[in-house]
Amino acid sequence: MERSEISLLAGIPTLDIRSFTEGKISERKLFVDQLGHAYETIGFVAIHGHGIPDQLIEKLYDESRSFFGLPVQKKQKYARPETNNQRGFVSMGVEHAKGSDEADLKEFWQVGQPDPPSDGDPTHFPPNLQVDELPAFQNAAVEAFRALEQLGQTMLQAIALHLEVDEDYFHNWVAGGNSILRAIHYPPILSEPSSAVRAGQHEDINLITLLVGASAAGLEVLRHDDVWVPVTAFPEHIVVNVGDMLQRLTNHKFKSTTHRVVNPPQIEWPNPRFSMPFFCHPRPNMKLDAMPHLLGEEESPIEGPISAGEYLEERLREIGLAKG
The region that residue 218 occupies, defined by phi over 0 for left and psi between -120 and 50 for alpha, beta otherwise, is: left
CB 170 within 8 A of CB 177: no
pLDDT one-digit tens code per residue, 21-65: 999 999 999 999 999 999 999 999 999 999 999 999 999 999 999
Looking at the whole model, is its pTM more than 0.85? yes
Residue ranges covered by each domain of the chain: 51-318
- Judge whether residue 181 has pLDDT over 60: yes
In the chain, which residue ranges form alpha helices assigned H by DSSP? Answer: 18-21, 25-41, 54-68, 72-76, 135-162, 171-174, 244-249, 308-318
* 271-289: pLDDT as tens digits: 888 989 999 999 999 999 9
Cα-to-chain-centroid distance, residue 286 = 18
* CA gyration radius, the chain: 19
Q: pLDDT over 70 for what percent of the chain?
A: 94
Q: Is the pLDDT of residue 227 over 70?
A: yes
H helical segments located in 112-175:
135-162, 171-174
Angle at 87 (CA atoms; ends 198, 244), nearest 5 degrees:
60
The CATH number, out of the four listed (3.40.50.80, 3.30.1360.200, 3.40.640.10, 2.60.120.330), of the domain defined by the range 51-318? 2.60.120.330
Beta bridge partners of residue 307, listed in sequence order: 287
**Which residues make Cβ contacts (< 8 Å) with residue 241, sequence separation at least 6?**
43, 44, 45, 204, 208, 209, 211, 221, 256, 257, 259
CB 174 within 8 Å of CB 81? no
Highest mean pLDDT among 45-54, 103-112, 161-170, 220-229: 161-170
Q: Which residues contact 80 (CB under 8 A, 6 or more apart)?
A: 86, 87, 88, 89, 126, 129
Rounded Cα gap, residues 75 and 78, in angstroms: 6
3 state DSSP class of 310: helix
